[in-house]
Amino acid sequence: MSQRLPRFIFHVDLDAFYVSVEVRENPKLKGLPVVVGADPEGGKGRGVVMTSSYEARKFGLKSGMPISTAYRLCPQAVYLAPHWELYEDASRRVMRLLRGHADRFEQLGIDEAFLDVSERAHDLERAKQIAMDIKKELQDSLGLTCSIGIAPSKSLAKIASDRQKPDGLTAVPFDDPKGFLAPLQVSVIPGVGAKTQAFLKEHHIETIGQLQQVSGQQLLK
């Protein structure tokens, strides 16, 4: 019986995409706390933060936060209105580039995608090289960075891509995916929100490793 070959799945996530496009267009913004979203109107504005630079996130800013809260936390940030045409054009170019590296391709929104590279990567080292090629090509041709997770499944790849942001590359050990997941907080599991986290915490479960040790029946008691 022939051995089943592993699947090599990438999750490619553009780093702070809207802000990165703005910085590419205006390099003077590089290294500054930058927010794309509603007008803060001196702290009285309505609306939310769409995304922020990693420099702004150090002050506690995050996507979906009220713009008035963001201004209170970081009044010195550069606040920009979104430029949708710029982002959509950049996204089209990114996705065209990614498709060229994939056997199978699935776009997720404007700034992330899954790539199956199993037919062109017969081992993990080759998969890593393809990922590095993608990152270099994105930087050289489009002036953008991304973080990539490599795993045997889409859900694992998505978790991995968030481990070393920005401009990261994380490969799940194919021989021990449970070991990779064990120390991570349950909040990294796609679909696990605040209510589920609170429920699990009541059962003294905060890491995936702890969750791996219990059965569904135990949680229903």
Q: What is the pLDDT of the chain when averaged over all its residues?
A: 91
pLDDT at 212 over 60: yes
| Longest Cα separation, the chain | 69
**H or E, element range at 126:** helix 124-142
Mean pLDDT of 111-119: 96
Considering the chain, what percentage of its residues have pLDDT values greater than 70?
Answer: 95
- Of the listed ranges 134-148, 161-175, 185-199, 204-218, the least confidently predicted one is 204-218
Supply 86's token pair: 């710029």
* pLDDT over 50 (residue 180): yes
Identify the residue whose tokens are 């430029």: 83
Contact 40, 182 (CB under 8 A): no
Which residues is 112 bridged to in the sheet? 13, 108
By residue count, the chain amounts to 221
Cα gap 191→148, rounded to integer Å? 20
What is the signed CA dihedral for 113, 119, 125, 126, rounded to 10 degrees?
A: -90
CA–centroid distance for 38 within its chain:
22
Query: CA angle, 20 as apex, 14 and 26 as ends, to 5°?
Result: 160
Neighbours of 49 (CB within 10 A): 23
Give the pLDDT band of residue 62 (cuts 50, 70, 90). very high
pLDDT per residue over 31-51, tens digit each? 999 999 999 988 888 999 999
41 among known catalytic residues: no
3-state class (DSSP) for residue 169: strand
Three-state DSSP state, 176:
coil
Residue 218 scores a pLDDT above 90: no
Q: Is 77 exposed, middle or buried (0-12, 13-18, 19+ CB in 10 A)?
A: buried
Of 112, 119, 202, 206, which residue is the catalytic one? Answer: 112
Burial class (CB in 10 A: 0-12, 13-18, 19+), 136: exposed
Least confident of 112-126, 139-153, 165-179, 202-216: 202-216
Output DSSP code: residue 28: G
